[in-house]
Structure 1
Amino acid sequence: MTDQRQRHILCMKWGTKYGPEYVNRLYGMVRRHLGGDFNFVCLTDDANGIRPEVKCLPIPPLNLQLKPGQRDGAWKKLTTFEADLHGLRGTALFLDLDVVVVGSLDDFFTEPGDFLIIHDYPRFWRFGERIVGNSSVYRFELGAHADVLAYFRGHMEEVQKQYRNEQEFLSHFLHKQGKLRYWPAAWCPSFKYHGIPRWPTNYWRAPFVPPGARIVIFHGEVNPPDALIGKRNKRFAHIEPALWVADAWKS
């Protein structure tokens, strides 16, 4: 079992899309669902309003060569693979700010593997082997995959042409090294794909927590505040209020 003194929860906040309340709620959920000691670290450009239990550190510079109007977006996550991330040592579990924790996190630190990530959710138009992971939840040893970031910094233009986003690049890079593994499928379900009743029952049945879920992933057009009030940012799509979010998503 991983030494609990070396367990870190990492998250990242930049810009104005997510306020400090997202970090504070994430800390509260982790504290309720992870036994023993851990360090909670937020890599951020603005620590205002973040609760004192969270250690706020600057996001390492990515040095992405941006074109006019281009944003570095989620490519910033690659900076978690710095050879020396602010002197942190041990095992890190990275969580996106908009996930909702609903079950025990203990096993995320004991599941075997060099690098674990969500197996990205299948879509009907995809063919062939599905390699890409969803980087809403991933675990790694700090400093162990510095070659990921080094390669990106040395081949930025090439990588951005070949891969749509950071999780595609990351997944394929580690897959080629034989280091990529996925969480058990039930642990990290998608709210959008797995937590909304099928049409037409979605008009009268409320969204639910999928069986076996530990962390519910909110990606695409629904986020936790919208789900809570029954709002879906997609035309002709309907959800009832996901009242379970109110019980889980709190500081």
Structure 2
Amino acid sequence: MKWGRKYGPDYVNRLHGMVARHLSCPFRVICFTDDTDGIRPEIECLPLPPLNCELPQRSRGKWRKLSLWNRDLHGLSGPALFVDLDSVIIGSLDGYFTLGARDAVILERNWSKPLSGLGQTSVFRFLIGSRPEILERFQADPQAIADRFQYEQHYVTHCVGSDLQFWPRGWNRHFRLHCLGPLPLRYLRPAPQPRRARIVTFPGGPNPAEVVAGRWEADSPPYRGRRRHIAAALASPHPWEQLRHFVMPVRWIGDAWKD
């Protein structure tokens, strides 16, 4: 899904290229978007599915993603794998379609709350049209749902309940938590490629484009080395935050993240 201006068409095109290199069966890449400009013609672009309710105003969650649970998703059918645009595919995707029953809902564990039993939806599989009650319950009172669960993925976890499955450990990795590592390590070596991982996700930044360039934000200066970054961070109004926002250029992401 792509809406607004946070991600350009290059993110969509590169995702298609990564899927093509890592999936051995026939596939379709479908992008639900409000702007098709620049997206390659082999990618099927469809309008954003209707949410049919107001978006919550007091929540940071990606509530628009709940529209994927529509009873009718533009006439599509069958199992679908949803992948966030800011993801880098580095291994085979075949197992994402063969694991579990056809109608299984499979999420990744919430890495920031490992003991909570919560899932997160950077990479998840679902049977299109199989659980419309997830969206319908939200439509009845979106603000109350958002106030209670805070994030869309927490709400989905609750709705699926005991039927929820998780991906095998290690298939999906969080760049900041599993690759970049704690503060001292990110100053000692570029983030290593995680072993056995198939998809690397980037919740909360930095994004793949910035990691390739060795910067934290799109408007940050190009990589200047460790000493210059530390000096600039200590001179800033928020030195601790700036010290944490450091990443060396990562070659393996540049090698994988292309169309």
One of 136, 142, 151 as aligned partner of 1:156: 142
In the alignment, residue 44 of structure 2 is paired with which amino acid? K
| TM-score using structure 2 length | 0.84
Which aligned pairs between 1:206-221 and structure 2 lie closer than 5 A? 206-221=190-205
In the alignment, residue 34 of structure 2 is paired with which amino acid? D
Using the TM superposition, name which of 70-79 and 19-28 deviates more: 70-79
| Alpha-carbon contact 1:197-1:205 (below 8 Å) kept | no
Q: Where does structure 1 lack aligned partners over 5 or more consecutive residues?
A: 1-11
One of 247, 253, 257 as aligned partner of 1:249: 257
In the alignment, residue 160 of structure 1 is paired with which amino acid? A
Measure the CA separation in 2 of the matches of 1:194 and 1:148: 31
Select the structure of larger CA radius of gyration.
Answer: 2
| Alpha-carbon contact 2:58-2:146 (below 8 Å) kept | no
Using the TM superposition, name which of 74-83 and 22-31 deviates more: 74-83
| TM-score using structure 1 length | 0.87
Partner of 1:141: 127
The answer to whether 1:109 aligns with 2:116 is: no
One of 23, 27, 45 as aligned partner of 2:16: 27
The answer to whether 1:235 aligns with 2:247 is: no
1:58 deviates by 0.6
Q: CA RMSD in A?
A: 1.9
Measure the CA separation in 2 of the matches of 1:231 and 1:60: 34
Partner of 2:109: 119
Measure the CA separation in 1 of the matches of 2:196 and 2:155: 29
1:200 deviates by 2.6
1:155 deviates by 2.5
Partner of 1:74: 62
1:157 deviates by 2.3
SS of residue paired to 1:148: helix
Which aligned pairs between 1:163-242 and structure 2 lie closer than 5 A? 163-175=149-161, 178-232=162-216, 234-237=241-244, 238-242=246-250
SS of residue paired to 1:50: coil
For residues 124-172 of structure 1, give each alpha carbon's deviation from its aligned partner in whole angstroms, at most 9, with x where no partner exists: xx7xx41221211000111111111111111212201101111111111
Measure the CA separation in 2 of the matches of 1:92 and 1:133: 17
The answer to whether 1:98 aligns with 2:86 is: yes
Q: Which has the higher helix share?
A: 2
SS of residue paired to 2:247: coil
Q: Where does structure 2 lack aligned partners over 5 or more consecutive residues?
A: 218-240
